[in-house]
Structure 1
Amino acid sequence: METDGVHLTPQQARAALADTQRVSASAAELAAAPWPTWFFVALTLYVAALPLTYGGIAADSDWLLPRPAWVGVMLTITAVYVALLSVASRVWRNRTGVALRFDVLPKRATVPVVAGLPVLLVGAAVAFRLTGWPGWLIAASLISAGVSVGFHLAFVRLHRKSA
C-alpha cells in the first residue's frame, strides 16, 4: 500500500496501530473522571464536614464551639471549596482541553444527589437541634462522604461504558 510515496512495512504499521491504541487508552483513562482526584477528595471532605457545621450552627446552645465560630467555619470551608473548584477547573481544562462542567453528568445520577443531599444535610441538623443527639450529624457526615465516593465511582463506570 502506498500513501504519498511512503511504504510502510507490516512491523511499522503494527507499531503505529499500537501507538494509536495506547493514545486512545490513555485518553479514555484521563477522561474517566469528571474532575481531578485531589478535587474529588476535597469535595468528599467538604460534604462530610457540612452536617457537623450545620449542626453547630443549628444547635440550641453552643455545641463544641460558639455559634459565630461555626458560622466562620462554614464561611471558611465554603470559600476554600469555591477556590479549589476554580483551581480544579483550570487544571482540568489545561490538562484535557475540556471545561470542568457538572451539567454534562447523567441526570439519572445527579437528580437524586441534588435532591437528596440537601435534605440529608439540613435534616440531620434539624434532628440534632430537636434531639441533641450528635449521632444524626455523624451519620449524615458518613452518608454524605459515601454518596460523594459512590457518585464519583458511578460516574467513572458510566463514562467508561460509554467510551
Structure 2
Amino acid sequence: METNGVRLTPEQARSALADTEHVRASAAALSATPWPNWFFITLTLYVAALPIVYGGVVADSDWLLPGSAWMGIMLAITAVYLALFAVAGKEWRAKTGVALRFDVLPKRATVPLVVGLPVLLVGAAFAFRVTGRPVWLIAASVIGAAVSVGFHVAFVRLHRKTA
C-alpha cells in the first residue's frame, strides 16, 4: 500500500489499522454515552410517574381523580417526554456529532430492560386494578426509578471504560 509515493512497512500498516479501530471504538463509546443529565432526570421522573398514572387510567372506579383526568395526564406527560426526547437527541447530535444509538449498547443489559420495564410498569397497574391496593403502583414507581438510575450509572461506566 502506498501513500504519497511512500511505501508503508507492515508495522506502520498495523498501526494505522489500530488507529482506525480506536476511532471506531471511540465513536461507539460516544453514541453509548448517557443522556444529558437534565434528560436523565426527566426520564427517571417519567418512569416513576407512569405506573401511578396508568393505575389511575385502568382503575375500576375513579381513584383520586376521574378516569378522564388520568388519561389527560397520561397523554400530557407522554407528549412532554417525547418532545424532550427529541430535544435531547438533537442536543446530543450537535454536541458530539454522533446520533444517539441503542445498537452499540450491550444486549445482555438492554434486552432485559426493554422486556422487563414495560412488564413492571404495566403489570403493576393491572395488579392494582385486581387488588385495589396502590402498593403495587408505588413499588413499581420506586423500582422503575431505581432501574433508570442503575442503567444511567452503567452507561456512564461503559462510556468511561471505552473512552
Name the TM-score, length of structure 1 as normaliser.
0.78
Query: Which residue identity is paired with 1:155?
Result: F
Aligned to 1:140: 140
- Within the alignment, does 1:160 sit opposite 2:160 as a pair? yes
Work out whether residues 57 and 71 of structure 1, in 8 Å CA contact, stay in contact via their aligned partners in 2. yes
- Match of 2:120, SS? helix
Matches within 5 A, 1:23-34: 31=30, 33-34=33-34
- Within the alignment, does 1:115 sit opposite 2:124 as a pair? no
Which whole-Å CA distance do the structure 2 matches of 1:75 and 1:129 have between them?
20
Query: Which residue identity is paired with 1:76?
Result: A
Which whole-Å CA distance do the structure 2 matches of 1:73 and 1:102 have between them?
28
Aligned to 2:65: 65
* Shift of residue 144, structure 1, vs aligned partner: 0.3
Query: Which residue identity is paired with 2:53?
Result: T
Aligned to 2:38: 38
Which whole-Å CA distance do the structure 2 matches of 1:37 and 1:105 have between them?
19
* Shift of residue 34, structure 1, vs aligned partner: 2.5
Work out whether residues 51 and 137 of structure 1, in 8 Å CA contact, stay in contact via their aligned partners in 2. yes
Instruction: Name which structure has the greater RCO, CA cutoff 8 Å, separation 6+.
Output: 2
Aligned length: 136
- Within the alignment, does 1:151 sit opposite 2:147 as a pair? no
Aligned to 1:78: 78
- Within the alignment, does 1:48 sit opposite 2:86 as a pair? no
Aligned to 2:99: 99
Runs ≥4 residues deviating over 4 A? none
Work out whether residues 51 and 140 of structure 1, in 8 Å CA contact, stay in contact via their aligned partners in 2. yes
Cα deviation per residue 1:116-150 (whole Å; 9 max; x = unaligned)?
00110111001101111111100000000000000
* Shift of residue 158, structure 1, vs aligned partner: 1.9
* Structure 1: runs of 5 or more not aligned: 1-26
Query: Which residue identity is paired with 1:107?
Result: K
Query: Which residue identity is paired with 2:70?
Result: W
Which whole-Å CA distance do the structure 2 matches of 1:102 and 1:69 have between them?
34
* Shift of residue 65, structure 1, vs aligned partner: 0.8
Which whole-Å CA distance do the structure 2 matches of 1:63 and 1:33 have between them?
40
Identity %: 74
Work out whether residues 39 and 84 of structure 1, in 8 Å CA contact, stay in contact via their aligned partners in 2. yes
Query: Which residue identity is paired with 2:78?
Result: T
* Shift of residue 69, structure 1, vs aligned partner: 0.8
Q: Once superposed, what is the RMSD of the aligned Cα atoms?
A: 1.8
* Shift of residue 104, structure 1, vs aligned partner: 2.4
